[in-house]
Structure 1
Amino acid sequence: MPSIISHPITHLRKLGFTLLLASGPALADIVESGYCDPAQPGIAALARHPEIYNIHLENDLFNGSDQGYTNGVKLSWVSANLKDYVNDPCLPLTIRRLNRLFTSLHRTGYSSRNMVVTLGQSMYTPLDKTRTDVIPNDRPYAGWLYLGLGYNERDARQMDTVQVNIGIVGPASLGKQTQDFIHDLRDIPRFKGWDNQLHNELGIQLVAERRKKLWESKKNNWLQFDAITHYGASLGNVATYLNSGFEIRAGQDLPNDFGTSPIRSAGDSNAPLENAMARRFATGGMLVFISADARLVARDIFLDGNTFAASHSVNKEVLVGNLAAGIAWQWQGGQITYAHYISSKEFTTQTTNPGYGAITLSLEY
């Protein structure tokens, strides 16, 4: 029997999908369908079809606070380039079956495409952690646990992303348990008011976004620059909004993608490759960036409260935005990024401008 040491890539692939899709008989399909080239199966074939595993962490402790959007974590798997979303053997059979439910979201106008599978959790708390009653002028306690299926398609200058998120808001999202565990681990006092969190509600969110490279400097320059815009929309009981923004990057050997990769829905920018045989992280380098995003918000369940039941809510701001600055270091096979975000006030009685830090680790196999 082959050992784990003799086949590290195969076992890492199994572990990644176990984290993303949970254990069960359906995961047996992954071993067979993980071979992107059925004519030449094995590790050599897998190496020609590199995939990316991302770990995202956003937390307001980087801003010296512990309230508002207080924590977000997301695991994501980014496929190799695909011929399509329902037949390509680069995708596990379980995922191909799920994709058949969303064929209307698949674009056909690009030659390069890939898929992103995410598992994420976010949590929101008011400012005063000691109160056990509802705080009328501060945001509700809330958690959000979700599975996301994203579809990226691109050419040299443009990328279109469609993502569907399905999950749960409320006690079943395990927001309280997760925060209590982390606070106990770090010897930080617990928040006392989680009994007032939003009620359980199935959450569905459909997000579409387009990114464009407006300008990029010559590739033979040691210091390169590019400018990327984005605009899009979200529809669902979790969030309904229009958004638009930009990013400017400067650095050495800028990656062939469409900007940084925040937890924000449709934010994964590990783009498909124009050359399917290439690797995204083939060279080393560093870059710095600034970015901005503005939203016109019609619904935000974490401020408006439950959709179908009475719950705590606050009067949200309709126009909100954030600014970010960050740095990324890339090596052959991976990248680590840190960004610091400052946001505008999200509801009328909010007393401070919230901020948080974001770390993303991307590994290519």
Structure 2
Amino acid sequence: MSNKLFLTLICLFGTISLFAQTRGHEFAIQSDNDSFLGQGSDRYYTNGIFFYYRKALKTGNSNSLQNKVLGFEIGQKMFNPQSGYVPDATYIDRPFAAYSYLGSTLNLLFKNESNIKLSAQLGIVGPAAGGEPMQKLIHNTFGFYHLNGWQYQVKNNVQLNLGAEYNKLLARASWVDVSLASYANLGNGFTGAGLGPLVRLGNFNQLFNSVSTQSTVSAADQTGLLHKHEIFFYYKPQINGVLYDATIQGSLFNKSHDAGSLEVTLDKKPLIFSQQVGVAFTTSRFLFDVAAIFHTREVEGMLRSHQWGSITGAYRFK
């Protein structure tokens, strides 16, 4: 009897240990703002807020698939010119605009450390996206300067945007690896593509269960990981080709201006170079990613290039 009880307890604790290492669900919040870099700027991509829910799916008996993650998100991006206060339209070097959306992703992560992440977003650019009231709330709450210029913002237009990401490990040593990072977007809001390397230094895991590919949740215990917890620095330079950007150019299909409309749109630059530098780390349940992003000018007439900080926190659970 005692032997049976002992074996039962061993099996029970073994099961608890297995599930303790398996986190199948994740809630995450991401906040972007140029003020995070402490430069006192309030221009161009000035604020973003995003909420994510991710659920790991079973991979079945696949010989190639290591992990599969379904995600849902809601977010808002906000843009203004060189300042949130412009005396008149001649000072607008990047249009006032906001983009709010609902989206879903499916992340397929393979044993060879490549992944394909598919996404779809239904959103809106224009006053209905809520950029002006959100920026007013932020400025009034923290005692920032008075705003002027949202009367010139991009008009309302509904958007359907599709996207795909592809990442692939290229080389790895004990504490450093390099992978290919690429994406392509197609829609009446955002169409373009980007390509570049991702360099990681520190304690990182394989791309099928890593912060780098938003895949730290799994439906089964991920055995054979390089590290129990991740903590690494990363650098991600990228060349981005831009075919269309509705936050700069306005509606793709309706180019007519209503009588009395104050909308200001501009022409985008076809190529943008971006750099992202950050640090990411995980615990058994929590995840954090802190980064600085630097972009070259999106519009020829922009006074400066722009940069912002991004902070992501996530909680994983059974």
2:205 aligned residue: 255
Distance 2:218 2:48 in 1: 31
Structure 1: which amino acid aligns with 2:205? Answer: P
- 1:162-173 matches, within 5 Å, as 162-173=118-129
Q: Distance in 2 between matches of 1:160 and 1:209?
A: 6
> In structure 1, what residue type is equivalent to 2:165?
E
In 1, the alpha carbon distance for the partners of 2:88 and 2:209 equals 42
Give structure 1 stretches of 5+ with no counterpart.
Answer: 1-43, 85-107, 219-223, 262-267
Q: Which residue of 2 aligns with 1:233?
A: 184
Map of 1:277 onto structure 2: 221
Contact 2:24–2:218, Cα closer than 8 Å, also in 1: no
Residue by residue, what CA displacement relative to the aligned partner does 1:203-248 show, whole Å, maximum 9, x if unpaired?
A: 1111011100111224xxxxx2111212221111111102111210
Question: What is the match of residue 56 of structure 1?
Answer: 30
Structure 2: which amino acid aligns with 1:269?
T
CA distance in 2, matches of 1:301, 1:259: 34
Aligned length: 287
Q: Distance between the aligned counterparts of 1:272 and 1:332, measured in 2?
A: 10
Superposition deviation, residue 191 in structure 1: 2.0
Give the partner amino acid of 1:232. Y
Shift >6 Å, 4+ stretches:
44-47, 258-261, 272-275, 279-282
Alignment-derived partner of residue 131 in structure 2: 175
CA distances 1:2-41 after superposition (whole Å, capped 9, x unpaired): xxxxxxxxxxxxxxxxxxxxxxxxxxxxxxxxxxxxxxxx
* Counterparts of residues 179-258 of structure 1 (less than 5 Å): 179-218=135-174, 224-252=175-203, 254-257=204-207
1:286 aligns with 2:242: no
Q: Normalising by structure 1, what TM-score?
A: 0.72
- Specify the code of the residue in structure 2 equivalent to 1:66: D
Higher strand share: 2
Measure how far apart 1:257 and its partner are: 3.2
State the secondary structure of the residue aligned to 1:189: coil
| Structural mapping, 1:4-43, within 5 Å | none
* Residues 320 and 346, structure 1, Cα contact 8 Å, conserved in 2: yes
2:240–2:274: 8 Å Cα contact kept in structure 1?
no
Tell me which residue corresponds to 2:291. Answer: 339
TM-score norm. by structure 2 comes to 0.82
Give the structure with higher Rg (CA).
2
Residues 269 and 128 (structure 1 numbering): CA distance in 2 closer, same or farther, change over 3 Å? same
Question: Could you tell me which amino acid in structure 2 is paired with residue 57 of structure 1?
Answer: S
Does the CA-based 8 Å contact 1:228-1:259 persist in structure 2?
no
CA RMSD of aligned residues (A): 2.8
Equivalence for 2:274: 322
Are residues 1:113 and 2:55 paired?
no
Provide the C-alpha distance between the structure 1 equivalents of 2:275 and 2:186, rounded to a whole number of angstroms: 23
Any idea what SS the aligned residue of 1:295 has?
A: strand
